[in-house]
Each structure stands twice: as C-alpha cells, then as structure tokens.
Structure 1
C-alpha cells in the first residue's frame, strides 16, 4: 500500500526531496530487508524480530518504512494509546549510511501526520529514550519520569547453581522465612482491581505511569487491556498495601548469537529488600529451564541502581554489561 507523500503535505527539506524518499506501510514481505538494515541495533537486544508480525496486526498501530532508490533505509512505528489521546513512538531505526541526514525527523513527521488523520483526538506524542537528554531536548519535550537501567548477563545454568549455593534453590520458600513476606503473583482479576479500581499504585508507579518494556501507559482500562494481552509476570510485595511492584516479560531469543535470551524486568518502588526479592523470584521462574546466555535488563528507581548492581556482581556473580544509564519517558504536544 503506497501512501501519498506530496512535498506540500510533508514539507520535506530540499535535500531529502532531491534524494527521492518514498514511504509505504510495512508488510510481512519487508521483514528480511528491515532486519538487514537494522543489524546490530540495541547492542544485539533487538525486540523487533519477535514482535514485527504482531505489530502489523495491531489496529491502533502504524508501521511506516522510508525507502531510497527502492531500498528500505528507515522504519518508524506509532501506536495510539491513552484512549486515543497519545501517539507512542517506538521502534525507530535508520540504516547506518543514512544517519545524521534528517531522515528520522522527516519520517516521524510523516507518521504523525498520517496517524493524526486517522486519530484526530491525538494530542500528545510520547517516546522513551535511553540517551542523555540535553538542553535542546528539554526545549522539545517534557520529562514524564525516568528509571535507572541495570543490564547484566549470565549463563542460565551457572545462575541456577549460584542460587542453589546461596540456599535459594527454592526462592519462594526461602523468602517466606525472612522478615519480609514473599512476593505475590497477580492474576488478571487482581491486576485490574489493584491498578484500576484503587489509587494504591499511584504512590508506587513513577508519575502514576506503568512502563512495560519501554512502553509507558497511563492507568486507564483501555491501556490495561493492551498490556494484559502480553506474556507478563506481575508481582507486588503486598496486595493490600503495595510498596514495590514488578512486571517481567517471558524470555525471548535475541540476535546476539545462538542460545541468547532477553529478560526485561520493570521494577517500581523504593524498598531495596522487596526489589531484591522480586528480582530473585523473576530470575528463578524465568531462567530455570533455559540453557544458554541471558541478557537481563532491569529498570528501577535511580537511587537503587548502585546497591542492586553490587548485589548482582558480588552476590549473584553475574556480569555488569554497562554502567549506569537512564530510561527517560518524554512527551510533546502534537502540532
């Protein structure tokens, strides 16, 4: 399906107009070319191979490709959330040889115009970044919230042995004997009741926002319907009076190499002991049957990053992949 890309509507910069950019809706047939264009992105932790087909089926999502001389050089995805008021931008990638030429900005404007024509109530553009924000960024965006990013890696078999050596072979049982009760896993009914019908999570979530694997959502029924379709493990420390909550994706393969898996844990709250408990429970539950390497990325309250990093390195003996970075949720008004 080709889309009207008239220069009048897009106001393309002259250099890009002359470069002959064309835009089209992504299809399943474009998969191999997209993967070739974005090889090595996100340090090998590219989620798109496992989600691309699902993205194409989502009625509230638009996935657009930019082509130059017939070849795919960029991709952008926009999904409409928050009862139609917010355009969530994600999945941006530009071919290495085309970076720094303004392609991303033009593609984003094109996607925004297209989505706005389909969802006229959209008022805000939101995105999540992991780079350092500068003065120019704050002229464009409002900062909604931020989390620290802790990225570690390990072999699943070695972690299982380490947990056993520590006497944590059965973490749920071990934690039940500690001063703090063990975490509570939530089913869908409990999730809706806790997150939607009370304000108990407002003090736990940063700016009352669920950030699930880079996607930030307001606490709305329509958003919860989106999140509950995913394979996620939900935990809290206490259903009646929660202070720490976490969402963990089920592990999936990533294109670093053979037998490499990715595990994403979004952690909310400030109690270090409860954060450690839930972290250990997620590790045990989701890596016990794996064989191979695991990249585990946890997002947590920034002051907890250092003690959790030390816990991972000194107690669990897992490898720190990178130093402290931040996940920043920003937004701007749709023009």
Structure 2
C-alpha cells in the first residue's frame, strides 16, 4: 500500500522558485569566478538556500561574515540581501574589488531611505530583527530608523517627528502581516508617508498569492526552501493559516511518509531562493510514495530581469556559458 493514496496528485504552484533577484545574485558570483578565478569572497550567504551555497562553495566561493576574513586585493561580493553603509565603507577602505549583488528591489528601499532622510524624515521599518536585509536597510542611517516586528511594537516606536515619518518594509514579509502592522502604524501616526509602491517584492507577493489559490485545493502543502529563507517560511505559515497542513523541506530527503497518510492531494511550491532541481527531486520522491499525477496551477508569468553590474555583463562570455552548461 502506498503512502500517498491511490490516484494521488501533485499540484504545482505557479509561480514558484527562483526570482529575478536571486537569479542575478547567483549569476554575479558565477561570472566573477570565471572572470577572476577562485576564490571569490561573498559576504553572508548569497541567497538563503543550502543547495545554492554549497554548489557555489564547490566552484570556489568562500562565504564570510566579517570583512577582516577577506585578504587584501580580493574580489568581494555583497549578498542579495544588501549591506549597511558601514560595510560598504569598510570594503572601500580595505580596497577590495567589490561587486554588489543586492537585489534591485532592496536597493530601491535603500535609495528611498537615503532620499527621505535628507528631507528630515524618520522611519519605521517593518521586518524581522537579525535578518540581513533588515540590518542592511537600517544600516543606511546612523539614527532615526525604528524596527517593528509586530503590531505590539508599534506602540513603543520612539518616534520624535510624527509629522516627518515614513514607513519601509523588508521585501520578503507576509503580505497580510505587513498590512496589519501598517494599519497599526497609520492609526498611531496618521501622517506617515507610505512608499509609492509597496516594498514587498513582486516575487514574494506572487508566491503568496499562488499559495492562497493552492492551499484550499490540497490536503497538504510542501514548501521547498531552507530554514533561513524568510519568504519560504512565510509560504509555509500562510498555508497553515489557510487550514492546510504544511511542511518546509530543504531537500527531498526531508520528506516524511507519514505527512501524506490519508492526504492524496499534495500542493508543492518553492521559495524564491530554491532552485528547480530541488523541486524535481521532491516530485520524484512523491512519485515513489505513490503520487501518480502532476497538475500545474494557473498563475502569474514572471518576465522581470535585472541587469548585471558593470564589468560582469558581457553576455557573449563564452567561458561563462560553457561553465553554466557544465561543459
């Protein structure tokens, strides 16, 4: 008897997996390895995915947290999450050959903070304490930016200029949670300035919207993503909130047969930093457990691409193409 009941079906969320910012960040590291040779140093995990990080390590990337661990004259890449002004200044002072893989949508938030700060604004940032993106955004200023993680924190934000207050958010939050916190901010600070376009990125929004379609139609949801991935965690939490049991797995090896007992319809998605190869491995494991069909859900088609930094953007780079194809 199979673990997934007879005629068990896998429903694939659309969209899922890599977003344009993650694709760009990985490509920056791979191109730098081709152009400058190993090792290439990367501050923090380039994206929050174990498979991706280990793959890049095997190709010659070295991941560090402190710039003091990088030798003079080395090539250094900032992760997709962005870095503080202090880290940027230290890297310049140490004379590294720097490439910035910060997601352009995170950079947009940094630019907004810099612009409004010059106009005398303070900021409330909605995000998760300790996340590198939050540290990078808050590190754009020496003072005047206050982190709130939930509605309760809003009451304690030490704002001194409520008439010159703006709000920014981490790009990978739960859309619904962020909206709830923003409502509380606006209730306490009616004059708060919101971004012209919300800071939560298109990929985070699209993947959460896809879960809202997927979860009610299945018996269990599997999210492919690493424990450190904020957007992957939000997908699992959202499915649970919608009443569907959900688990997050770093790889197919993490799947447990008992999750699928009496649950023939399996929903499958992947966080924005999880490569499709992991999704395919999970599908094969689910087939081994008894799933017999796969159906792709309708969803938004993502066509966004971000340009590469100067010095890495030669699309005709034959050596790079050969490396990516594995030849």
Say yes or no: TM over 0.5: no
Which of the pair has the greater relative contact order for Cα pairs under 8 Å at 6+ separation? 2
Bigger fraction of residues in strand? 1
TM-score (norm 1): 0.23
